[in-house]
Every structure is written in structure tokens, then in C-alpha cells.
Structure 1
């Protein structure tokens, strides 16, 4: 690594560290900055920009990319903070990857393609794709459900984003089986077909793009460049490219950078923290910073940023110990790390949260500077209730309040239907409750239904929610048909698992023949048309499997034939399971009948448990949510809601009235005077004076079924959001405490941390530079007297220790 002698850009009110100066002066073509949390990554990039400007590079030749609008805006502020004039900073190109891709595509395509950011506005295109897949593949693929409920839409776009961000959607799927396609892409074959159909509609065979949704611009530009549809010469040419938050880099963005960086022309500087990779599902990976840049650009240089400018040495050393990497701070700040403990359940933990908030405000700190960060949304239930009991105002950031979560809104809708008191629900909540009931009741709207009109009717006329129940949910089906189908499914599974292959074949043939006869004899059973169509499909599949048995049994050994039948068998079992478990409408009818017959003093938690048992909400969640983790979160959220109801010891009507009052308690939009509450995953890039981390318990944080390396990173992100104080709340029983706490080595590093605070106090007592301005006529004389010139800000300055006396005539102005 070669460097010039001295920087030409001297920042305002900032003395760069040796690490920052090395980056500012680097002449390496490609630089990856491996920074710690709070280590002034963005400020360091601003210094590098300032140095380029001071050396005469025009602002138009510099491109800076970020991943979020928030990061973009912070970088723009840092440019001004270090002393780059506003007029110069305004000429710099600072954009998110998607903004840059969109602007570039508009220049290349010579037109503005409509941008659609709302999932609901994209719904018609998903409907069209589903219809096309149904028409082309109906009955030929497994697990195909023509569902565009709110939850289904959200998951469709989440799956699409994963495939686009990782560029897996570009994988060669030729000659792969359905199972192999699903394994390669990580989603069901039906989802793959729907996404492909959606993309064919969005991007025509001619290459014309009908519209672009979220992230589509980045994906489209990367694909066009990789495929040679557009060339490097059509991209804007930049002498220096900078990238912030490099740990969020995904495959599509990396491919874009590879095309933007010209080996003999461009300098690239990217900054990130390897230990803040928490979006792996969207393609983020530490391999980009560790090895991918080096592989793509031999000679890539790596620079560290060790010192934190967010929190003091006590927390810097604890974070470094946790991650086993060098970490320090140059702030003369004692960031206190406090440990509090709880006995018993979530309520006792939440009470410790309230006590910690009160301790913070009792010392004169503003309550809005205090943030409570939870690992998962279900943990917020007890905390929100405890804050309300203590009359402590709070607001959630990106995470919705627990009463506004979709699964809780569903239960609220069920209570309102049972009590016939939906009119008591705040009007602003009714539409969301309609959506939630429709989703969890798996209400099927036809393509002719005006869902928006139905939703508005529920908002305007609360009694319309009862229509949704009576008209769409309370549809009785043939219980004996369903039970017979369920019994057949159970027997198929049992015989496959418990007997030798040749015996399974015989038993399988008998079961299939019996099922076929039963289905064919179902005329007049009273089953509705939906069940009849499903049974007809089962009938066809059953006949095909029996024919396959008869044709294959003579020429194949039993094990080989059984292996070949596996996929058909699983398809059949899946359909049978859907007939049984998917009979939510009948279950809903039974739930409402139960609830409307309840005695007025029935405990709310008892009623809610019956709803969940009758609906089998865990199985329902697994069916509604693609990712198992999301399904588990929903189940935990419902369990926490019921637990809260049990603790309140209210009957159903009292609980409904309490919910209405709680809605009003948290309905304000104020920011000041409120504790802040959110999930850890939502606050990367943010910072708070005091951070409270509750539920630091085994199997809670780290979460038992999550990837351990990403759990490590989540905890690291959580603790490093703090500036002045960090409170860790864990069980009194040491055996139940999160192992993460011990890894921080809090007590062991206290003496070293205190010594570092004293060191920093001495360092910051040194005077900074003194700036002054003169008229152009006096510039030569000021230089002769020894003043230094800052060409970026167009001011003179004196270095620390330089006498100010010769410059008194200008310093007094």
C-alpha cells in the first residue's frame, strides 16, 4: 500500500485517526474497509471524497452508493459535517443502488418505466400470473394454491426478492425435475412457475419493461449487463466509486459493481462491518468482504477501522470480546453496562424493563433517548402491557404494536364477531382486521369480487364483518367425507413408514382402491363444489397410481417401484391433508358457535385457547407462511397474547373493552416523551443513548432454531446501538442466561476500559485547528505569515500549537 506524504483535505472539527488518514490517502485501486460498529465508516468515506476534491477531481466524477435511503441521507450530512461546501456536495452523485440503477436504465431505455412500490398495487399482476399457471399446469404440479391474500402476496414478493437479490432466478433449470428446481431455488416449484410467469408479463420477450417493483431496477440492470443486452460503455463512467454498508451487499448489487469498476480507470472504496451481516436470506454474506472482491479484483487492499465514535471503551471492549476481534473507542465516555435479572415468566422480565426505563429518566435523561430492543415481536407483548400498566408512554418504530400484528388482529376479529361489538373497534383498525380474518380464515375471493369495496364496507359499516363470516366462512361441508379422506391419508402414511416395501405395495393398492370407490360413491353427500372438485382430482390421481402399480409391479422390484411412487404418493397425501387441515371454514363456524354460546364470565384466555385449538393455528401458520421461522414467530405471538389475557384475569367482553382502550393509549403520533420499542433486526444503522435488551435467555437469544452465526451478528448489532448505557436483562438463574453475556467479558475488561477513558480525556483536551477567512487581496500575505489553505472549503487555518498573534486582524472578524 503506497501513500502520498500528507493529506490535502483537512476536515472541520475533526482530527482523523491514523486509520482514517491511511484510507483517506490510499492509492490502492480497490479498497475494502473492515470496520467495527460505530467506527465512523460514513465519515471516513466523506474524508476520502474530500481528499479527491482537494486534489482537483470534479464532483461529477465521483459516485457514492448505499443500500437504503437512510444511509444515503446520512452520507450527505457527513459530507457537510467534514467541511465540504454545500454547493460542491450538491454536485456529487449520492444514491441508493436502486436509485442509481433506475436513473441509468431511464437514460439507456430513453423512457420512464412506471414504478410500483406498493404490494397491493402489484396484486393484479400476481393474479394474472397465478391464473396463467393454473391454466397451464393445473393438476400437474404439487402444492399449487391460487391465493393472493395479504399474507400470500407478502410471501410471494419476499420469495421473489430473495431469488432476484441472489440472482438464483437466473439459474439454468433445464432438464431439472420439480424437486430439483425447488432444491436449487429454495422455494416450491409452483412458486417458481408463478414468479417466472409474473416476470414474463413484466418484461416482454421484446425486452420492453411494463413496470418495475421494489428492487427490480437493480436486478434488471445486473441481468442486462450479465447477458450482454447492454454494455459497460452504456454505463456512466466514474473515477471514484464509494459504497457504504458493504455488509449488506448481495449478488445482484455485486454484479453491478463488477461492471461499474473499470480496472485501469476506477478507484473503489467500500466500507462495512463483517459482523453486521443479518440479511442472509436476501443474499447478504461476509464472503463479499472476505474474499469475493479479492477474487474479482486481484490486489484488493483491506484497511481496518477499529475505534468506535459511538460508545465508550467499556462497550467497545465488550463488543470486541464477544466477536473476538480488536475493538476500541476514542471517546472519553463511560458507557455503562448494567445487568438486571428476573424470576419467573415474561411479566417479571417486562417489569424489569419498566424499572430500567424509570432509572434512566430518574437521572434526568429524556425518555425518548431510551430504546427497548427485542429479538422477536412476540416478546414485545409483555413489555407493551407492562409499559401501559405503568403509564409509561411508548412508540414502536418499524415493528407494529402487538395489537396490530396480523395474527392478533385475526383473534380480535373473531372476538368482535362472537360478541357482535365490532362497532366498538376504532375505525382505523377495521380494514386491517378484515384483511387478517380473510387471511387466517383462508377466505377465497373470486376474481369477480371487488375486495376493496368489501373491505371499505367493513370499515364504514361494522356489521359487514358478520356478513364476511356468514357469507364466506360459514359453509358446511360433508364431515363424513372429510373424515374418511383423513383416515385414508393417515393409513397411507402409516403403511409407508411401518412395513416392508412389498407389503406397502399391497396395502397401498387396497387403500387406493378403497378411497377411489368411496370418492366415486360420494354423489349426494352434500359436499360443496370446492370439495367435489378436490375429490375429483384425488379420484384421477388414485386411478393413475393403481394403473401404475398394475403396469410396474411385474417388471420392477418392490423397492424400486416404491421409490418411483414416492412423489405421486406425497402429492396425494398433500391433497388429502389440505382437504382436512384446510377445512378452516367449518372450523371457523364451530369456533363462532362455541363463542356465541359462552357464559358472560368465561375467562378470555380460555376462549382464546379454544379458538386456537379448534383452528389448529400452528398448522395454519405453517400453511400460510413459507418460512418456518415466520410460522414459529406467529405461533409464539399468539401464545404471548393468550398469556397476557390470562394474567389480566378478564372475561371475554372485559378483554375486548381493554383492547379498545389500549388502542387509544398507543394511537398518538408523538415522538418525544416516548420510550422507543423495536426488533433488533430493524435498527441496524441506528443508535440510541440507552439500549435495553430483555429476554436474554437460553433459546430466546440466541433463538434455538436460528442460524447461530447470524444470531451472533444480531446480538452484536443490538449491543452496539448503545451510546451512553446498555442494560442486559436475563434470568436470575445463571444456567438459563444467554451465553452471549458471558462472552462479553464485562467485568474482566473494566480496568482496561477505565484506563482507556482516561487516555481519551487527555487526548481530547488538545486544541483543534483555528479557521479564518480573508479577502482575496490578503491571501498572499496570509500564506507568507504561515497560514494553511483549505482548498475544499476555501478557508485558511492554523494547526494546533501555531501562534494566532500574526493573524489577529482576521481572527477578529
Structure 2
């Protein structure tokens, strides 16, 4: 048997030629350019399964994703294609955040508490605001904009702060407190200089000597900072690393991957659909990820067969993308366009309910799990969730919390329950 022949054969489907080539490749760095629904996650699972069959210990395999849901799907896919559950459980599959937190704890003995809830972060930000105000007053400098005080303003500031860290700003303590560099950095990033000063101050307080707290989003930033300062790599060695949804990589996650690929005999396979950048607010851009795709020493491979929709939709997609695409399914793709008032999302909810009921009565209906409502933002779920509940249609949310359990809703429900002396209003069914 030659090395290019697959040793692992999935139990429930025949891989395409493109999948087999990715499953058995021998290049150290491979980027898989994939279309939507082209079985990226399944293909990465095949890569891991092939490594297991070639006697690579599961502890030397790593799968990285950008969300807990994607990590669960990748692990589930391993079992679905025929990897024994006892073996699949030993493969390390984590989000970048979880991986960084674990390495910080295991390799650097850094177990700083994680603060992710807005009410936990607000006091730190307000203390930093007071410090920035005192410094401005001492220098007789007028603050040019309103610094965040309320929770909504603080949440917006934290988004800006995380974006700056995703771009590696302040990674190696290069940001000085004197005015000139701050003003220059602010102009370069088109950000208010006082917000940039606030970002620097929060970071200063967060890591006075050692890191005293972090958000889970800070974990990769903090780990890369330590790795950049370390004379030798403190990362655990992996033989095979796969990265799902590569289109959402940003400079700080890319720097972490650079550190990992320095280990000898490490093979990295990353897959993404570069038309679907989701985490732009975390610094991911098409231009940046394409620079990684086109970097020296990177082998490009392709997944061009989609299993998400049939030939009609595939043909339309190929026309839009101007890249060859084919369908791996023979299904009908019907599209109905229903217009609603953009300023009033509530008008869309009845259309969603009507479409769900019509589909369930159709000949194609199989399971309710085969239906999905795709939203651009979690706030759009409120009216649709309410309409589904009113109609008695069961649903679940993936990738975000139902509005019923979001903090602001729980506070309001608590007030109403107390006023009406009706504790049942707090019960989630």
C-alpha cells in the first residue's frame, strides 16, 4: 500500500476524490478552499481519522474551531464516520479560546479568573475611566468624547477593545502612556484617542504584574504574548492539527498557529469558505485570510462539491462566485421571497411561522430538525421566538441564547414576577 492510498474508510459514505486527496496529503501546511456545504468538517474528520489509522496517538491530534458548536460538530463527525467513541474522546478538539486557556493553565500555571459577564467587567472599566479622567485633569486636557459609564456603552467599548487585541495591538507592551504614540495609533485605527487610552488603562490594570483577570476572548492574546516572550516553545507538540472555519481567523489566532507550526513534523490542515466571514468584529477579513491562503509554503486544495443544496441552487451559487461548483445532492430548491418592513422586524415573524407550517404539511417533510431559521443577529430572534411560542412550535437556538434567558429579559421577568407575586413567570419550559 502506497502512502497516498487511504487507510481509513468511512462507514457510511464514499469520499469524493477531493476529500481523499485532503485526507491523505503529505504537505505540512494545507489550506482547503471550500464552498458552502462542501463537507469541510467531515473532510477534516477524515484527516484526523486517517492519522489515527496511521498510528498517530489521539493525544497528538488537535482540532481547533471558533465556536463551541463547531467543536461539538467536529467531534460528533469523527464518530459518525466510524471512529470508535472511546478513541474519538481522546482527540483534543477545542475552540481557540478553550485551547489557550488550557495551555495557560497547564504550561504557564496561569489560572487567572475568567470574567465574561458584563456586570463583572463593568466595575473594572469604570475604574479605568476614573483613572483616564484623573490623568486628563492633571494635564488640563479636555476629554473630547463621552467615556463609557453605562452597561450598554461599556459593552460597546469592550467590543472595540477585543478588536484591538485581535489585531495584536499592545501585544508586546509597545503602547506608551505619553500622548504622541496614542494619538498616532488612534489616527491609524480611526478610533477616539481617549477610548484608546481607556483600552490601554484597562489592559494595564488587568495585568499589573501577573494577569489578575481576563475574559475568555483575552486567552489567545495572553497566550501569544507569553509565547512571543518565551525563548523556547511552551506549547504541547501535535503531529496533526486541523482548523475549521479558517475564514474567521484574525491576526492574533494566526500568530498562535505560527507558534504551533514551528514544532517539527507538525502537519496543519485548515479549511474555510472565504465568502462567509462571520467574525469581522473580531478582526477577521477576507483580505487577511487570503494573505494566509497565498503565503509561501502553503499548498492550496479545494472542495467544490456541495452537499447542502441541489443542482439549481448550486448553479446559481457558481454563477455568483464565478468558481466551479457542483452538487452532490438531487433535491429541489424552492425559494419564496416575502417582503416586510425593514424598520419593523415583527412583520417577518408571521411569514416564518407560515412557511414552517406549510413545509411540515408537504411531502418533503421528515423531521422538524430538518428546518432552520438563519438570522444575521441574535436580536432578530425576539419576534420570531415569540411567534413560534404563540403557535406552539418547539424550537431551539444554536449559536446564541434564547432571548428568554438573556440577562435583561431575566431582570424584567423577575420584576414582573415579584410585582404579580407569580414566581412561575421565571420558569423556563
> Do the two structures share a fold, i.e. TM-score over 0.5?
yes
**Displacement, 1:173?**
5.5
After superposition, give the CA deviation of every residue in 1:108-141 in whole Å (9 maximum; x if it has no partner).
Answer: 3235222222221222222221221122223524
Matching of residue 164 in structure 1 with residue 144 in structure 2: no
**Displacement, 1:31?**
0.2
What residue number does 1:182 align with? 186
**Displacement, 1:197?**
1.4
What residue number does 2:219 align with? 217
| Helix, strand or coil at the partner of 1:212 | coil
Relative to structure 1, the CA distance from residue 459 to residue 77 in structure 2 (aligned partners, 3 Å threshold; closer, same or farther) is same
Picking from 203, 206, 218, the partner of 2:207 is 203
**Displacement, 1:370?**
3.4
What residue number does 2:412 align with? 429
State the alpha-carbon separation in 2 of the partners of residues 61 and 382 from structure 1.
46
**Displacement, 1:362?**
2.1
What residue number does 1:656 align with? none
Relative to structure 1, the CA distance from residue 384 to residue 316 in structure 2 (aligned partners, 3 Å threshold; closer, same or farther) is same
State the alpha-carbon separation in 1 of the partners of residues 235 and 206 from structure 2.
23
What residue number does 2:318 align with? 320
State the alpha-carbon separation in 1 of the partners of residues 326 and 122 from structure 2.
49
What residue number does 2:303 align with? 305
What residue number does 2:45 align with? 46
Relative to structure 1, the CA distance from residue 104 to residue 231 in structure 2 (aligned partners, 3 Å threshold; closer, same or farther) is farther
Matching of residue 362 in structure 1 with residue 361 in structure 2: yes
Relative to structure 1, the CA distance from residue 277 to residue 12 in structure 2 (aligned partners, 3 Å threshold; closer, same or farther) is same
What residue number does 2:78 align with? 79
**Displacement, 1:278?**
2.7
What residue number does 1:26 align with? 25
**Displacement, 1:400?**
5.6
Picking from 331, 335, 344, the partner of 2:332 is 335
Relative to structure 1, the CA distance from residue 238 to residue 291 in structure 2 (aligned partners, 3 Å threshold; closer, same or farther) is same
State the alpha-carbon separation in 2 of the partners of residues 402 and 88 from structure 1.
38
What residue number does 1:108 align with? 107
The 8 Å contact of residues 182 and 196 in structure 2, kept in 1 or not, is answered as no
Picking from 183, 191, 197, the partner of 2:195 is 191
| Helix, strand or coil at the partner of 1:33 | strand
What residue number does 1:771 align with? none
What residue number does 1:717 align with? none
**Displacement, 1:315?**
2.5
TM-score normalised by structure 2 residue count: 0.84
**Displacement, 1:321?**
2.4
What residue number does 2:238 align with? 238
Relative to structure 1, the CA distance from residue 396 to residue 142 in structure 2 (aligned partners, 3 Å threshold; closer, same or farther) is farther
| Helix, strand or coil at the partner of 1:168 | coil
Relative to structure 1, the CA distance from residue 109 to residue 326 in structure 2 (aligned partners, 3 Å threshold; closer, same or farther) is same
State the alpha-carbon separation in 2 of the partners of residues 319 and 143 from structure 1.
48
The 8 Å contact of residues 293 and 300 in structure 2, kept in 1 or not, is answered as no
The 8 Å contact of residues 31 and 269 in structure 1, kept in 2 or not, is answered as yes
The 8 Å contact of residues 117 and 213 in structure 1, kept in 2 or not, is answered as yes
The 8 Å contact of residues 245 and 273 in structure 1, kept in 2 or not, is answered as yes
**Displacement, 1:249?**
0.6
Relative to structure 1, the CA distance from residue 430 to residue 92 in structure 2 (aligned partners, 3 Å threshold; closer, same or farther) is closer
More moved, 209-218 vs 19-28: 209-218
The 8 Å contact of residues 131 and 146 in structure 1, kept in 2 or not, is answered as no
State the alpha-carbon separation in 1 of the partners of residues 383 and 98 from structure 2.
40
The 8 Å contact of residues 309 and 333 in structure 2, kept in 1 or not, is answered as no
State the alpha-carbon separation in 1 of the partners of residues 260 and 141 from structure 2.
44
| Helix, strand or coil at the partner of 1:47 | helix
Relative to structure 1, the CA distance from residue 255 to residue 361 in structure 2 (aligned partners, 3 Å threshold; closer, same or farther) is same
Consecutive unaligned residues in structure 2, runs of 5 or more: none
What residue number does 1:277 align with? 277
CA RMSD of aligned residues (A): 3.5
Relative to structure 1, the CA distance from residue 351 to residue 86 in structure 2 (aligned partners, 3 Å threshold; closer, same or farther) is closer
State the alpha-carbon separation in 2 of the partners of residues 343 and 235 from structure 1.
52
**Displacement, 1:203?**
0.9
After superposition, give the CA deviation of every residue in 1:264-299 in whole Å (9 maximum; x if it has no partner).
Answer: 52211111111111322211122344222543xx22
The 8 Å contact of residues 34 and 274 in structure 1, kept in 2 or not, is answered as yes
Relative to structure 1, the CA distance from residue 380 to residue 57 in structure 2 (aligned partners, 3 Å threshold; closer, same or farther) is closer
Greater helix percent: which structure?
1
| Helix, strand or coil at the partner of 1:31 | strand
Consecutive unaligned residues in structure 1, runs of 5 or more: 410-426, 434-457, 463-662, 671-813
Listed as ranges, the matches of 1:174-573 within 5 Å are 176=180, 179-204=183-208, 206=209, 208-226=210-228, 229-262=229-262, 264-295=264-295, 298-332=296-330, 334-341=331-338, 351-363=350-362, 365=365, 369-375=370-376, 391=391, 393=393, 397=397, 398=400, 429=412, 460=418
**Displacement, 1:252?**
0.6
State the alpha-carbon separation in 2 of the partners of residues 66 and 382 from structure 1.
30
State the alpha-carbon separation in 1 of the partners of residues 375 and 316 from structure 2.
20
| Helix, strand or coil at the partner of 1:233 | coil
After superposition, give the CA deviation of every residue in 1:195-251 in whole Å (9 maximum; x if it has no partner).
Answer: 2111111112x4x1112212111001112223xx22443221122221111111111
State the alpha-carbon separation in 1 of the partners of residues 93 and 405 from structure 2.
39
